[in-house]
């Protein structure tokens, strides 16, 4: 029974993330067990574990949910192979859970315990956000409420908001810190409505928590009912002097399709942005990570990585972990050549334009540009158009409205199409495979 379960799990995971990534990274996973709602998987070493946690955590959780029909927590551990056992003593040990805090950190599967203030590198790009987060951990008074962190992807919002929650619990262990995301909040609310448990749901967030973190507020765009619920929750908590911490990919004033009362509530405390890291900060992040992993890399390689990765801290850490993990799997030392080779996939030509995406899509689907931009609703045109929107989101920084303008649509129609498309990617294997193929092809030609 168990063996059957794992083989199904592996099969689905492979389909979900594609054979290449699966074979490279996840085939090294060995399954251990499932007990007390936790699935334990072991990785050959800490570097591979880091990489998997960074990139496939969500996919693994989602696949577990698909196969078991339950929301399980995921525990990744290091179980070295026999050859590696001899090196085991030199590998840093990890603490995967902090006993005693589980009762309070609601939404545990989301929490990454390594997101602490100590592990956060401060530089000009994020020092104000860092100081604001620190200030929130002092209970003196709620000077800033809510605190709203915003930035583009991978710049430390989740890290900082998790660090804040963890520090509050360390300082004041009796505090009930609830951590959630706008998506999860919405999901929970829908479930509660279905099961006639909405008053319990309301009570949980309004009465039983002292600090509430809700991440990725942009997910609430256009979801009026959830917005109302979030608004009343924030209102109640703030009136009771409970701390609220929010994050999003944009300033609340710039998130479209939010109701005015919620927008102004969210912007009424402290709104702080985090910027892309400068060269020095990037070097410090690299140095910190290497020290933690007990790895030495040359000045030349560190400089190369810091100069090459411009996008965000997630890509920077990813590139470094990829390099370290690749060297550990291949048994090859880290030099400039290996760095150049492994960083190839991170070097993105940022000049992908909507025009290039349109050209690629219309060529691939054999339709004309006019058809792609037309009002036609025939499937032969709407599907390529959805893919084009998806590519615009994935490969450019432009807003939904700007994408809309490029196709003669408004931003809510783009949002609707994207939601529909993403659902079909999640639920339809053929769509997913086709898009993986197309993505590869696009990246080969344009990135």
Q: Are 179 and 107 contacting, i.e. CB atoms less than 8 angstroms apart?
A: yes
Q: Residue 40's binding partner, choosing from Mg ion, ligand ADP, none, with beta-carbon cut-off 5 to 8 A by kind?
A: none
Q: 120, 178, 205, 442: which one contacts ligand ADP (CB under 6 A)? A: 120
User: Please, which residue, 158 or 226, has the CB nearer to Mg ion?
Assistant: 158
Q: 63, 126, 221, 386: which one contacts ligand ADP (CB under 6 A)? A: 126
- Kindly state the smallest distance separating residue 382's Cβ from ligand ADP, in Å: 31
Does 150 interact with ligand ADP (rule: CB under 6 A)?
Answer: no
Does 155 interact with ligand ADP (rule: CB under 6 A)?
Answer: yes
User: Please, which residue, 157 or 409, has the CB nearer to Mg ion?
Assistant: 157
Site string for ligand ADP, 350-389 (x = CB under 6 A): ----------------------------------------
Does 313 interact with ligand ADP (rule: CB under 6 A)?
Answer: yes
Does 317 interact with ligand ADP (rule: CB under 6 A)?
Answer: yes
Torsion angle of the four alpha carbons 157, 158, 163, 165, in this order, in degrees rounded to the nearest 10: 110
Residues 6, 8, 13: CA angle, nearest 5 degrees: 95
Given the rule CB under 6 A, which of 13-21, 32-40, 66-74, 313-321 is the region that contacts ligand ADP?
313-321
Q: Residue 126's binding partner, choosing from Mg ion, ligand ADP, none, with beta-carbon cut-off 5 to 8 A by kind?
A: ligand ADP
52: left (phi over 0), alpha (psi -120 to 50) or beta: alpha
Does 158 interact with Mg ion (rule: CB under 5 A)?
Answer: yes
Does 156 interact with ligand ADP (rule: CB under 6 A)?
Answer: yes
**Which two tokens mark 260?**
């005015």
Sign of CA dihedral 388, 391, 393, 396: negative
Q: Are 386 and 418 contacting, i.e. CB atoms less than 8 angstroms apart?
A: yes
Residues 212, 243, 138: CA angle, nearest 5 degrees: 120
Residues 24, 25, 28: CA angle, nearest 5 degrees: 105
- Kindly state the smallest distance separating residue 311's Cβ from Mg ion, in Å: 15
User: Please, which residue, 120 or 407, has the CB nearer to ligand ADP?
Assistant: 120
User: In this structure, what are the phi and psi dihedrals at residue 356, rounded to the nearest 5 degrees?
Assistant: -65, -40
Q: 16, 157, 282, 411: which one contacts ligand ADP (CB under 6 A)? A: 157
Does 115 interact with ligand ADP (rule: CB under 6 A)?
Answer: yes
For residues 326 and 291, give the distance between their C-alpha atoms in angstroms, rounded to a whole number: 18
Residues 369, 374, 376: CA angle, nearest 5 degrees: 125
Does 153 interact with ligand ADP (rule: CB under 6 A)?
Answer: yes
């Amino acid at each position: 029974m168990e063996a059957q379960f794992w083989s199904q799990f592996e099969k689905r995971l492979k389909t979900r993330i594609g054979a290449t990534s699966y074979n490279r990274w996840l085939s090294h996973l060995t399954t251990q067990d499932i007990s007390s709602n936790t699935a334990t998987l072991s990785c050959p070493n800490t570097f591979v574990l880091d990489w998997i946690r960074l990139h496939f955590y969500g996919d693994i959780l989602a696949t577990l949910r698909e196969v078991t029909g339950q929301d399980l927590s995921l525990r990744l551990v290091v179980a070295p192979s026999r050859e590696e056992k001899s090196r085991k003593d030199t590998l840093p040990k990890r603490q995967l859970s902090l006993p005693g805090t589980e009762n309070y950190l609601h939404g545990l599967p989301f929490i990454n315990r390594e997101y602490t203030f100590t592990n956060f590198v401060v530089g000009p790009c994020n020092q104000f956000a860092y100081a604001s987060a620190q200030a929130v951990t002092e209970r003196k008074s709620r000077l800033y409420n809510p605190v709203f962190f915003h930035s583009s992807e991978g710049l430390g919002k989740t890290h900082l908001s998790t660090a804040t929650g963890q520090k509050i619990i360390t300082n004041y262990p009796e505090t009930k810190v609830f951590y959630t995301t706008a998506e999860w909040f919405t999901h929970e609310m829908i479930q509660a409505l279905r099961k006639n448990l909405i008053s319990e749901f309301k009570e949980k967030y309004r009465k039983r928590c002292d600090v509430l973190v809700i991440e990725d507020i942009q997910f609430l765009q256009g979801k009026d009912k959830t917005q109302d619920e979030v608004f009343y929750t924030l209102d109640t908590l703030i009136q009771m002097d409970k701390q609220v911490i929010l994050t999003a990919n944009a300033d609340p004033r710039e998130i479209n399709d939010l109701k005015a009362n919620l927008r102004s509530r969210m912007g009424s405390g402290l709104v702080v942005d985090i910027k892309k890291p400068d060269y020095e900060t990037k070097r410090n992040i690299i140095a910190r990570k290497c020290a933690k992993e007990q790895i030495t890399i040359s000045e030349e390689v560190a400089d190369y990585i810091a100069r090459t990765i411009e996008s965000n801290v997630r890509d920077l850490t990813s590139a470094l972990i990829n390099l370290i993990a690749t060297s550990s799997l291949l048994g090859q030392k880290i030099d400039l050549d290996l760095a150049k080779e492994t960083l190839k996939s991170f070097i993105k030509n940022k000049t992908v334009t909507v025009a290039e995406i349109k050209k690629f899509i219309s060529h691939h689907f054999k339709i004309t540009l006019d058809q792609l931009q037309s009002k036609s609703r025939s499937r032969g045109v709407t599907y390529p158009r959805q893919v084009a929107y998806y590519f615009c989101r994935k490969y450019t920084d432009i807003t939904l409205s700007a994408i809309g303008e490029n196709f003669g649509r408004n931003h809510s129609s783009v949002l609707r199409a994207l939601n529909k498309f993403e659902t079909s990617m999640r639920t339809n294997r053929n769509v997913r495979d086709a898009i993986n193929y197309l993505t590869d092809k696009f990246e080969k030609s344009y990135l």
